[in-house]
Amino acid sequence: MSRKGQTRAVRQGRWMMIPALMLILAAGVCVILWFGAQKQGFHEDEIYSYYSSNRTAGIAWPDREWMDTRTMTDEFVVLPGEGFRFGLVKTVQSWDVHPPLYYDLLHAACSFYPGLFSKWLGIGVNLIAYVLCFLMLVAICRECRLSDRFTAFFLFLWAIHPLTVSAAMFVRMYFWLTFFVLSCLFIHLRMLRGFTRIRMAALMLVSFLGFLTHYYYVVFFFFTGLTMSLLWFLQKTADTAATDLSTRLGRIVRYVFCCGVAIAAAVLYYPACLGHIFRGYRGREAAGAFLALSGWGTRLAFFGSLINEYLFSGALPVLLFLYLVFVLAGDRRAGAFRLTTVLTVVPTVGYFFVVSATALILGSTSNRYLLPVDPLILLVIFATGSDLLKRMIRTWKPSADTPRAHRSEWLWRGMSAVLPILFGAMMMFLVGKGLVADGHVLFLYPENAAAMEEAETNRDTPVLVLYNGETTENIWQLYDKLKEFPRVYFADAANGEPFEDPTLLSCPKLYVFAADTADNIDRDLRLADLVRLNPKLSGRQTLYRQNMWTWYRLE
């Protein structure tokens, strides 16, 4: 076939990929919507996302007073006529420890539906990031010269992976951080072909937005930039093969300057970031964890176990063993290292080490911090395994002088057809296992369904929130259940005065949301007072436990 004919065939193949990719994307969206319908509750940080995005006036929690729950709802929804107040979002977020871009996006979504509090608004914002990440992964696979068949299969693995679905379920900024991390990598992969003003401008824009999404973006950005600068210095890119040292150093200086301008612009737009990073409690915690070198081993083991369990369904040691078999049974001569592989692996590993050393250890929910590089880890592991398998198969190909060559040829052809299918089937099995059997889709909170049903079917029952006056911010964790009742009575557990409200002292049934403390003495005393003062109440039953709260029914 002529070169022109080969080019035409390649273009036709790529056009045929479009329907396949659209089907994969549609299947992934359906999976996310299906799990979204099963989401029954919220992580406390998700509740805060709505509050931080749509806060109206703030609430001073009363003591021994009733509050209309509509007053609470007003803090979580956009009120009519108050939409698209991005300046207020920026101000409110400056009081916390995160940059504002994600909250701007969530606020914009809520502004289209004034008065509505819904999980679907947050999931919808994440679905946009899901589509953008899908397209960016397509571009990365193209840039890495991966085959269409491999690209389609990998994208299907990622599209329905339990951690991908978890990222969509979690109403926080991590899916959007994933998009900017992938965009950063893609632009640098393009820079391997040549350094242009358009690519540098695109990187500056992505870095500006990425920094305003989450400060962990800078970690990936730093390691990517460091790797890119070294490749330029070592004359490894396509347009530096014959340049002199001064030219290469000049390019690196221009690159570093432009990157610095992008981050500086983000700091000027959001100066509160300096306080978050250097003086905020999360910044101090992260710095302390990073400097405590003695704890690195424990932290790396913990986050490594998350990758093994949730990204590979516990089979990462099996995969690594198979790779060793592929190497030993195949051509042991080192193949050419692709620059795209280097530019993908180094920042991913750097991000993993820094985040593992600084992020909060919160059980399975700590997966959130690794979500931005999970697709890259999956891509590298799957691509490496496929490449090693292909080398092993090529090594086994019989030569013309092999005894019984015709039989060996048929055996080799059979093995070369079956082994890749088996490897792909194993990867699909691991994803399906995590999605269905292991229940690795996070942030669904199915246990909250019974609590919500209890609240929805007993709206007329009086409700008391017995809070800890030192941690009133935790009251927001109860919002999804409290909003089902028309009004709620609030009381500080440390207030030892007898209850005098006639409703509390005469109701035949009472719900109490009590804050858990170190000793629970104040809480238990207040509950005992209620039973003593109300002759219709004789005892209490524990209905539900949530983080630092216990829900009781007194009757």
Return the HEC string of 189-238.
HHHCCCCCHHHHHHHHHHHHHHHCCCCCHHHHHHHHHHHHHHHHHCCCCC
**Residue-wise pLDDT tens for the chain (555 aa)?**
445 544 454 455 566 788 999 999 999 999 999 999 999 999 999 999 999 999 887 788 899 999 999 999 999 999 999 999 999 999 999 998 899 999 999 999 999 999 999 999 999 999 999 999 999 999 999 999 998 999 999 999 999 999 999 999 999 999 999 999 999 999 999 999 999 999 999 999 999 999 999 999 999 999 999 999 999 999 888 888 778 899 999 999 999 999 999 999 999 999 999 999 887 766 777 667 666 666 788 999 999 999 999 999 999 999 888 888 877 776 655 544 588 999 999 999 999 999 999 999 999 999 999 999 999 999 999 988 888 888 777 777 766 555 555 556 666 677 777 888 888 899 999 999 999 999 999 999 999 999 999 999 999 999 999 999 888 888 988 999 999 999 999 999 999 999 999 999 999 999 999 998 778 888 889 999 999 999 999 888 999 988 889 999 999
Helix (H, G, I), strand (E, B) or coil at 486: coil
Helix or strand holding residue 162 (H, E): helix 162-169
pTM over 0.85: yes
HSE toward the beta carbon, residue 53, CA cutoff 13 A = 30
User: How far is the C-alpha of 357 from the C-alpha of 373, rounded, in Å?
Assistant: 15
Q: Give the other-Cβ count within 10 Å of 491's Cβ.
A: 24
